[in-house]
């Protein structure tokens, strides 16, 4: 776990978006992001790519918190509500199940009012 925390501190994309790690524990992570003007789409809402990136960061941390390396295979995202400049978004990823080589995760993205912004189902390949 300490190695994972050190690696995430150096991750350039996380730093670029200014994603903050709130919590990491076995099979779970929570991250947050304050939405700025540079993160909006043509209508002034948070760009879907930003929301997906936040979810993907939580997924990466939850996967790799279980003591071995996992690589994302598939992420399906459903956007259910918009967000805007000034919102704080959180993503929580949690381990759901696994087979010998594939694990499944659920990711929820919500705002500072606990309104669900998006949800994801994700699969990862477990490297032995």
Residues 6+ apart with CB under 8 A from 9: none
Contact (CB, 8 A) for 61 and 93: yes
pLDDT at 11: 81
What does the alpha-carbon distance between residue 41 and residue 57 come to, in Å, rounded to a whole number?
Answer: 20
CB 71 within 8 A of CB 124: yes
Would you say residue 9 has pLDDT above 80? no
Q: Are 118 and 78 in contact (CB under 8 A)?
A: yes
Q: Please tell me the pTM assigned to this model.
A: 0.93
Would you kindly state where each structural domain of the chain is located, as residue ranges? 2-126
End-to-end CA distance of the chain: 17
Say if residue 128's pLDDT is above 90. Answer: no
44-91: pLDDT as tens digits: 999 999 999 999 999 999 999 998 899 999 999 999 999 999 999 999
Using CA atoms, how far apart are residues 123 and 59, in angstroms rounded to an integer?
A: 9
Architecture of domain 2-126: Roll (3.10)
The mean of the pLDDT values for the chain is 94
Whether residue 13 has pLDDT greater than 70: yes
């Amino acid at each position: 776990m300490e190695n994972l925390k050190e690696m995430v501190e150096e991750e350039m994309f996380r730093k670029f978006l200014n994603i903050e790690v709130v919590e990491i524990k076995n099979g779970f992570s929570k991250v947050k992001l304050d939405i700025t003007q540079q993160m909006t789409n043509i209508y002034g809402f948070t760009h879907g790519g930003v929301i997906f990136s936040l979810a993907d960061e939580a997924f990466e941390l939850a996967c790799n918190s279980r003591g071995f390396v996992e690589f994302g295979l598939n992420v399906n995202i459903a956007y259910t509500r918009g967000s805007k400049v000034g919102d704080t978004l959180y993503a929580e990823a949690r381990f759901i199940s696994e087979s010998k080589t594939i694990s499944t995760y659920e990711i929820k993205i919500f705002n500072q009012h606990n309104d669900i912004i998006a949800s994801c189902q994700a699969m990862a390949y477990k490297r032995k």
